[in-house]
Each structure stands twice: as C-alpha cells, then as structure tokens.
Amino acid sequence: MKMRKRIIASVVSALVLLLMFAGTAKAAFQYEHDPMQNPDAAADIIVNPDAVYGYSPNPDSGSLQDFAPYDWSDQELVATAKKEREDYHASIQELYDKLHEMQAAGYEVEEIARVISTRRNEIRLEAYKDNPEGLETVKKRNLEKYGNEMGPTPEYLFEQYGSWETVIKKAFSSNPGMDACLGLYDEMYDTYLIPDEAEEETEEETIPAPAEEETVPVENDIPKTGDNNEPAAALVLLVLSASILGTGLFFGKKITKE
C-alpha cells in the first residue's frame, strides 16, 4: 500500500512538472534575416526574449532610446504600434508617384532627391498627427541628431551618403531597428541599404521601384508568445500517456496479486 502511494506521488509530481514545462515553453519568434547582422539595426535594438518579436529598443540608442521604456512584451501595445508603422510605410507610395512624375518631366537627380527627401520628412511627422507627445519627441530627437527638427536636410544626406541617387534610395527605406521590434524586418528587408551591401554597388545606381500593394495583417496574425508549441505539447502528451499506461500496468499486476 505504501509502495502504491509513493508511485502515485511520483507520477503526480512528474505530471505537474510536465504541465509547468508546457505552460512556460514557447517557440521564440524568429526572422529569416537576422536584424543583428545589420549594423544600422543592431545599433538601435537589443535582443529581448520577452518582447513580442524578440527585440526592443536599446536604451542607449541615439534614435530609439525614447521608445525603450515601453513594455515590448505587451501584445496589444505592440499590435497597435505595428499597425501605425504599416500605415506609415504605406504612405511612402506618395513618394514613388512623385519620383516617377519628376523623372518623366526630366528633372535632374539632385532636384528629385531634394524634393523626395524633404517630403519624406514631412510624411514622417504627419504620421504623428494624432500623437502630439510623440511628435514633440521626434522633433526633439531630429534637432539633436540632425540640427533640424523636421529631419535630415538634403545637404546632410548627400554628405552622409555621397550621391544623390543614394539620397533618393534612403528616402524609401525605414529604421530597421524599429521594424525589427514590430515584426516588420523581413517584410521591409529589401528596402534597407546595409553598409556592406552599399559598398558593393556599382556606380550606376538604380532608383527603387514601387513596392507591391500590401495588405495589413489583422491583429490575430501577430504571433502570440504561446503559439507554435506543438512540439512541447506532443512531448507532454507522449510522456503523459506513457506514465498513465505504465501506472495502469503496474497497478493491474498488484491488484491481481492481491
């Protein structure tokens, strides 16, 4: 009888541990392209296992430090921020229209770059039209980083990148660190001008083509921290079944002997 109780206690303890494991185990969200391999992204983010998409802004980042205090493990908060970011990316289509309009009219590359980069700054600030506090934060950061609250001037960008073609390209790119924090890094990957890749480009640089129209994912599409636990669940069921079967066989023998 004492032996039976010990066995029951052992089985129950094992089941409790397995259930605890199943409740805590989760498949971390992973990108196809590693954001930390992009120097521009790596400078602004840190790996955060608790974050919805595995990354959060680096408190020491010059660009995203103001966003570091937010709870990046909050599914609802991140989903809302992701939607706003997707809307911002969608608004960039206006720049493509302006680009092709000016190209067709025969404007020089420098003239196009100046117009496009300036409008890009305006679009970025317009994204905060319903968020006065966020708008002030962005303007303050722009002033500190670029010396201009509206954002980097065409002259600043030309000095930074060395060609007006690259200035135009950069107008269609986004902060890869923020995209990584919001689950958009793979989606926007082709728009990033990664330094190592930029050095390999030929002198004849091409102007980016319009992105295909994208659908905005609903919140249910955002991976939950408990999603993709099929392997852990299968393991639990397998061990549970084996435990129950083994226990049943043992007790069956004991009962027949008794």
At 100 the pLDDT is: 94
Helix (H) or strand (E) holding 112, with range, is: helix 109-126
- 176 burial via Cβ count (<10 Å: 0-12, 13-18, 19+): buried
Helix (H) or strand (E) holding 57, with range, is: strand 55-57
3-state secondary structure of 47: strand
pLDDT in tens, 108-151: 999 999 999 999 999 989 888 888 888 998 999 899 989 999 99
3-state secondary structure of 46: strand
For the full predicted model, state whether its pTM sits above 0.85: no
Helix (H) or strand (E) holding 146, with range, is: helix 132-146
At 228 the pLDDT is: 44
At 133 the pLDDT is: 86
Rounded CA-CA distance 167/117 in Å is 7
At 106 the pLDDT is: 96
Q: Which residues of the chain have pLDDT under 70?
A: 1-27, 193-258
Confirm if 211 and 202 have CB atoms less than 8 A apart.
Answer: no
Q: Count how many Cα atoms sit within 13 Å of the Cα of residue 133 in the half-sphere of its side chain.
A: 2
Backbone angles phi and psi of 107, in degrees to 5: -70, 150
At 31 the pLDDT is: 96
Rounded CA-CA distance 175/188 in Å is 10
Q: What is the residue-wise DSSP string for 163-174?
A: SHHHHHHHHT--
Q: How far is CA 95 from CA 50, 197, 208, in A?
A: 36, 24, 11
Measuring CA to CA, which residue among 112, 94, 93 is closest to residue 212?
A: 93
